[in-house]
Amino acid sequence: MDLDSKPLELTDLPRKQFDDDTVEMDITHCGICASDLFTLDSGWGATDYPCIVGHEITGVVTKVGKNVKNVKVGDRAGVGAQCGSCLNCDFCNDHEENTCEKGVIPTYNGRWPNGDKTFGGYADKWSGHHHFVFKVPDNMPNEIAATFFCAGITTYAPLKRHGVTKGSRVGVIGIGGLGHYGTQWAKAMGAEVIALSHSNRKRDDALKLGCDDFIAADEDAKFAQYKGKLTHILCTSFARNFDWAKYLGLLRANGVFIMVAAPDAPLTDIPTMLLVLKQISITGSAIGSPDEIRDMLDFAAKTGVKPWIQKYPMSKAPEAVQAMRDGKARYRFILCNKDE
């Protein structure tokens, strides 16, 4: 049997070697991300098994090295999809560590500089570099904070970076783990928000999340109504038969199409003349920098943005992963070592 087809197993694996920059924590909660499934299945290339996935981690700090100043023993803290970078290149020095030119160290399925493997949050303990550990706001429970560290920052950072504010009109493609965050962020930033979905199934949820309108893929009259009216589109869900002309046609001149989904095939059939004549930008975004994560946590604490979650005991991780595969998340599953 191939390793990527084996079930999840409970086992003991060594943590990162402790040094002066290390934070150790007892994990209380960990969100389940689609990236976990791709990695479990070697969907993005060969996974370095054995692998502990999970990069939406919150816990309680239990030990810190002498260089650690941002958290202390007893603090509630979180970790996202990145646990390391070189911290010396131009991008890292410009506070853009998530684009480190020497390569991001992922929170799982990666290697520390000393060769130790990185292990994620489907576990009871985590160890890593303090630069990528963040104190959880006092008014935010760990179970709520966990998914901010991947789904939250993946959608917050590009909306903030591309100037979403009062007067913006933002379309969000896909009302799921990412999209349900994207709609809330854009609304909290002052924008009018239009949900764009392949069917009517999530219309009620979208409106409860604060969307001002909802367009299903087959509602041609609604597409015509919003043609040339949107300032931004945040794409959180991407199908191989994506109708670029239909969706880009919703954007105003100088509009921005932000890709945060991770398509498993090249982008094709993009209408070049539409891009040129309307000066539309198509851009991608990868998680967020530590500065952006801190800014996001502060913004969420002030505005009350929070995920819709469903909880499973950590011991039932295999069951939760299967439910994720079956599309049952509404809209983020949380594995819990401890309820608050």
User: Which residue is associated with the tokens 């003349």?
Assistant: 273
Element (H, E) at 223: helix 220-225
Which range, of 2-16, 133-147, 215-229, averages the lowest pLDDT?
Answer: 2-16
* C-alpha dihedral, 311 to 313 to 319 to 323, nearest 10°: 10
Q: Say what percent of the chain tops pLDDT 70.
A: 98
Residue 1 has pLDDT above 60, yes or no: no
Q: What is the separation, in whole angstroms, between the first and last Cα of the chain?
A: 39
339 confidence band (pLDDT: 50, 70, 90): low
d(CA 218, CA 110): 42
Residue 2 has pLDDT above 70, yes or no: no
Residue 27 phi/psi, 5° resolution? -75, 130
Residue 158 has pLDDT above 60, yes or no: yes
Residue 338 has pLDDT above 80, yes or no: no
d(CA 283, CA 285): 7
Q: What is the token pair recorded at 131?
A: 């630069």
Write down the pLDDT at residue 239.
84
Write down the pLDDT at residue 5.
60
Distances (CA, A) of 180 to 116, 163, 209: 36, 19, 7
Query: Which has the closest alpha carbon to 137: 126, 152, 116, 115?
Result: 152
- What average pLDDT does the segment 154-162 reach? 98
Write down the pLDDT at residue 304.
97
Write down the pLDDT at residue 6.
73
| Mean pLDDT for all residues in the chain | 95
Element (H, E) at 258: strand 251-259
Element (H, E) at 214: strand 213-216
Q: State the architecture of 153-284 in CATH terms.
A: 3-Layer(aba) Sandwich (3.40)
- What average pLDDT does the segment 43-53 reach? 94
What are the pLDDT digits (tens) for 68-120?
A: 999 999 999 999 999 999 999 999 999 999 999 999 999 999 999 999 999 99
What are the pLDDT digits (tens) for 267-313?
A: 999 999 999 999 999 999 999 999 999 999 999 999 999 999 999 99
- What average pLDDT does the segment 121-127 reach? 98
Which range, of 32-36, 143-147, 236-240, averages the lowest pLDDT?
Answer: 236-240
Q: What is the token pair recorded at 158?
A: 């590009």
Q: Would you kindly state where each structural domain of the chain is located, as residue ranges?
A: 3-150+288-336, 153-284
The correct CATH number of 3-150+288-336 out of 3.30.470.20, 3.90.180.10, 3.30.360.10, 3.40.50.150 is 3.90.180.10
Angle in degrees, 0-180, between the axes of helices 179-188 and 151-161, rounded to the nearest 10:
40
